[in-house]
């Protein structure tokens, strides 16, 4: 009889242990969740965050509150996530600054290991475009021009240390050319100077460049993803000339390290389901974004890969932020 009681007790204990993660997963959330956006309201990251938060609120039957904490190149908002309780009720939105800041910022306000990857929500394809009168019409011709005219090729970006800036530096190293970076405070003034011929080339998200390309004010040379973009199959990818070249902006979700794995998995699955809805997919694609909805381990690997890539580019190009 005693042996039977011991067997039953052990079986119940094993069942409870197995049910623990599932129970946490199914009961979460049982109240409001906060999604911290490290940008002011109104930009593309904010729009995506609001789309996702609205869908999660419908799925979870609890509010998902978007909390804006801009400043310090996204570090203020990301630090707030890192310091939050690891219970799944604080979710952070991160973009490419998350993989660039560790090598660019002199004082990081958090440690990347204090945050755990949930999902890369989207990627933003970039492109290289030129003034219509530039003396080259393809990537090959641009590289050839740069080699024949050392130091004369100039390119604009929305700012120092951003994905567009670093894409140009990575290309310069892989192509073994000199290319002079001209930083601007945002895309609009950079576009103006490239269209006006004061700078030869621009690297920026495709959706930002496309209106100027379609109007003839700029000409497309190449895209910067690992292969041609499905939406723009006529434009070559840099990777066709330099295999392995891949530069795309990203937006994803993170949570404080220590958040239960079952909760992380639930956030990821529910987010992926939301992004797969036809109406949501269309809204996101209309923003010029491509849905990824990766699993936590996949996003963690992407973060590691890009952090290492940009650390090398920043170090070799001796890139520093101006005080």
Same-domain status, 129 and 141: yes
Residues of the chain with pLDDT below 50 are 1-25
C-alpha count within 13 angstroms, C-beta hemisphere, residue 43: 13
pLDDT in tens, 237-257: 999 999 999 999 999 999 999
User: Are residues 228 and 148 part of one domain?
Assistant: yes
115-130 and 290-291 as β-strands: parallel, antiparallel, unpaired?
Answer: antiparallel
Residue 258 near residue 241, CB atoms below 8 Å: no
Contact 287, 125 (CB under 8 A): no
* pLDDT confidence of residue 323: 54
Question: Which residues lie below 8 Å from residue 183, measured CB to CB, with a gap of 6+?
Answer: 156, 157, 158, 159, 160, 165
Give residue 80's pLDDT: 98
Q: What is the 3-state secondary structure (H, E, C) of 171-195?
A: HHHHHCCCCEEEECCCHHHHHHHHH
Residues 118 and 199 in one domain: no
Residue 181 sits in the same domain as residue 258? no
75 beta partners:
none
Answer yes or no: do 218 and 306 share one domain: no
Task: Based on the fold, state whether residues 114 and 57 are members of the same structural domain.
Answer: yes
pLDDT value of position 130: 98
One domain, residues 181 and 193: yes
Residue 114 and residue 138 in one domain: no
pTM of the model: 0.88
Specify the number of domains making up the chain.
2
CB-based contact 92:77 (threshold 8 Å): yes
Quote the domain boundaries for residue 274. 32-122+249-317
Domain at 226, CATH number: 3.40.190.10
Verify that 190 and 155 share a domain, yes or no.
yes
Mode of pairing for the β-strands spanning 154-157 and 290-291: unpaired
Last residue in a domain, options 213, 240, 267: 240
Asked whether residue 218 falls in the same domain as residue 138, the answer is yes
What's the confidence (pLDDT) of residue 44? Answer: 87
Q: Give the DSSP letter string of 48-87.
A: HHHHHHHHHHHHHTS-EEEEE---TTTHHHHHHHHTS-SS
């Amino acid at each position: 009889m005693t042996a039977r009681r011991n067997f039953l007790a052990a079986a119940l204990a094993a069942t409870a242990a197995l049910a623990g993660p599932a129970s946490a997963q199914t009961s979460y959330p049982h109240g409001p969740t906060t999604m911290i956006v490290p940008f002011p309201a109104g930009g593309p990251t904010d729009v995506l965050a609001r789309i996702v938060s609205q869908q999660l609120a419908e799925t979870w039957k609890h509010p998902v509150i978007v909390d804006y904490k801009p400043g310090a190149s996204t570090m203020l908002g990301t630090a707030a996530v890192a310091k939050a309780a690891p219970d799944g009720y604080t979710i952070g939105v991160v973009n490419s600054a998350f993989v660039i800041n560790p090598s660019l910022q002199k004082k990081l306000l958090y440690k990347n290991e204090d945050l755990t990857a949930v999902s890369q929500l989207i990627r933003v394809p970039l492109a290289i475009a030129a003034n219509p009168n530039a003396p080259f019409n393809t990537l090959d011709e641009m590289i050839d021009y740069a080699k024949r005219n050392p130091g004369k090729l100039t390119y604009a970006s929305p700012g120092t240390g951003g994905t567009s800036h670093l894409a140009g530096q990575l290309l310069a190293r892989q192509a073994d050319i000199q290319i002079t970076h001209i930083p601007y405070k945002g895309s609009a003034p950079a576009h103006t100077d490239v269209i006006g011929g004061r700078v030869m080339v621009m690297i920026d998200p495709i959706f930002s460049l496309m209106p100027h390309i379609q109007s003839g004010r700029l000409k497309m040379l190449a895209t910067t993803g690992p292969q041609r973009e499905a939406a723009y199959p006529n434009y070559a990818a840099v990777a066709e000339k330099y295999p392995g070249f891949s530069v795309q902006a990203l937006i994803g979700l993170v949570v404080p390290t220590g958040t239960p794995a079952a909760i992380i998995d639930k956030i990821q699955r529910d987010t992926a389901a939301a992004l797969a809805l036809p109406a949501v997919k269309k809204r996101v694609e209309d923003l010029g974004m491509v849905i990824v909805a990766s699993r936590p381990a996949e996003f963690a690997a992407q973060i590691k890969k890009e952090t290492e890539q940009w650390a090398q580019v920043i170090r070799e190009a001796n890139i520093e932020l101006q005080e």
